[in-house]
Amino acid sequence: MANTNPEPVKRLMCEFNKPNNVSELVKYWLAFLLGMFADPLFADIEDLLESAKTQVDKLDAAEIKAAGKIPGAVAARDTELLKSNIIMDKVLAKVQEAGDDDIPNSKTLFETHQLKIRVRSKTEKGEFEATQGKVSKTIDVQHQVIDGRVAYLFMISPDKLKWYVGAYGTTANNTVTDCNDLDLVVGVTYYLKSQTCKKGEYSDWSQIVEVPCI
């Protein structure tokens, strides 16, 4: 088993860069959604984007009425704002997922879509190793146990370009087998790395470990 020690790549988190004014927020969200519709990376969530745009349009109409001081309009606007926040957070989660799937390029993705970027990397990283499993087409992963309630994320890749979730949970020792969108192939060398999460804070990624699948 060979180890490589690249510079740690931190997981970036994206947020909306929300203006305080509702009318400006509507403009920001509509521009954001326009960019999402134009990005082929998000073609599979077009229905969600359509629903989000419909809701933001409702917020726009409600804000116009609220600005006109129509009785009850402010309360109605606030209701539409709440609904808009909920569905736009769902869209934002899809962008975060895309960024997590391609962490080295996530900064460019988030900036392209006018999102605020922050780094969450305060949890202890700990030691990580991976070895061939006792059963064919499995890889055993072991992470140093971190004190407290900690989640352990193990990622796997056939090429260090596209990463997949191999295992996730509160167990420091786990086994990676066939996972969503990635079937392990005997004879192929896979790359694995780990990250810990504690109280919403994420560690740096571990070193990358190479393991041939048998």
Residue 9: pLDDT over 60:
no
> Cα separations (Å) of 98 from 40, 109, 110, 210?
12, 8, 10, 24
| Contact criterion met (CB below 8 Å) for 8 and 204 | yes
Rounded CA-CA distance 87/207 in Å is 36
Domains of the chain, CATH where assigned: 12-118 (no CATH), 121-212 (2.60.40.10)
Q: What is the average per-residue pLDDT within 79-96?
A: 91
Output 136 or 146, whichever has higher pLDDT. Answer: 136
Residue 154: phi and psi, rounded to 5, are -115, 125
Residue 207: pLDDT over 60:
yes
pLDDT band at 95 (very low <50, low <70, confident <90, very high): very high
| Contact criterion met (CB below 8 Å) for 63 and 23 | yes
- Going 13 to 153 to 104 to 163, the CA torsion angle's sign is negative
Closest CA to 113 of 189, 2, 12: 12
pLDDT band at 139 (very low <50, low <70, confident <90, very high): very high
**Model pLDDT, residue 52:** 96
